[in-house]
Amino acid sequence: MSISHDPLASEAVSWLQKEIQSTIKCRLDQKGEKNYWREALVGIANADDPLFLKLREVVGPEHSIPQDLLPEARSVIVFFLPFQKTLGRENDQSTPFAARSWAESYVTTNRLIQDISMYLKSFLEKEGHETVITPATHNFDTEKLISGWSHKHIGYIAGLGTFGYHNLLITSSGCCGRLGSLVTSMSLPSTKRPDREWCLVKAGRNCFACVAKCKYDALHKTHYDRHACYEQCLRNDAHYDDLPLVDVCGKCACEVPCSYQIPTRLS
């Protein structure tokens, strides 16, 4: 499913997807790592989109806008690396902690997001465009648990998808994956945002499959407790203490109707 009906935007997205897939292939060839990902998705936002200012209301008053990172910002590029379905199934079946493969993929994907961002930054700068990359994760207030640069909200602005009841971004390849983004002075055509809700609950269907997957008192039909969620993420980190920081969980994203696609029916 295309994320844009603008031919120029589609051309830019295709070019970026090709470059990202090439970076992934090079990393796999050179380092022999597991291939945790399906084909990458890309969205582009105009740095002057008024929704960026809205993030200071929706996310937090200290959320950055593109010009905070790069005064000459013209565009924001966002990419989504969807996980292989086997990874989601393994995480769903592992109890009470996240699957080891899920924790390991978190570390590997963070490095990959950095590699992709650095490659695109280098390429764009060679073309004469200033570019600033953003960290893949841990750019949030650890007490308030509010991000200073929310990739999922930036992804929404860039047309990659809509928010699910689990507070994750549902893309055309589902919500099971990771996001990265960078800000550039290059002017690129924006991709179109979806014109309907992709979350079944938000579309008026009786789903709540993500709520049923959360066994940690974090996600409820009535509310979301971000602190309870993060406490479970830290438990997983402690469980896998031989790995770098892996404050992850992902249960609500795995083996639900929106895990790997735009949901069309209840599973």
Q: What does the pLDDT look like over 43-54, one tens digit per residue?
A: 999 999 999 999
Q: How confident is the model at residue 9 (pLDDT cuts 50, 70, 90)?
A: low
Most confident of 1-5, 100-104, 122-126: 100-104
- CA distances to 19, 115, 117 from 24, rounded to whole Å, are 9, 9, 12
Residues 256 and 169 sit within 8 Å (Cβ to Cβ):
no
Q: Which residues touch 171 (CB under 8 Å, ≥6 apart)?
A: 41, 80, 82, 155, 160, 161, 177
Domain boundaries, the chain: 7-253
CA angle 181, 184, 84 (to 5 degrees): 25
Among 10-19, 137-146, 159-168, the range scoring the smallest mean pLDDT is: 137-146
Contacts of 24-29 with CB under 8 Å at 24 or more apart are 24/112, 24/116, 27/112, 27/115
DSSP string, 131-176: EEE--SS--EETTTTEESS-HHHHHHHTTSEEE-TTSSEEETTBSS
Strand ranges, E, within 74-133: 75-82, 131-133
pLDDT value at position 200?
A: 97
Which amino acid makes up residue 32?
A: G
Containing H/E element for 41? strand 41-46
Number of Cβ within a 10 Å radius of residue 150: 22
Q: Residue 107: which of 146, 136, 130 has the closest Cα?
A: 136
If DSSP codes are grouped into helix, strand and coil, which group holds residue 59? coil
The answer to whether the predicted template modeling score (pTM) of the entire model surpasses 0.85 is: yes
Identify the burial level of 260 via C-beta atoms within 10 angstroms of its C-beta, where 0-12 means exposed, 13-18 middle and 19 or more buried: buried
Q: How confident is the model at residue 77 (pLDDT cuts 50, 70, 90)?
A: very high
What the block records as the tokens of 219 is 């996600």
- Asked whether the beta carbons of 181 and 151 are under 8 A apart, the reply is yes
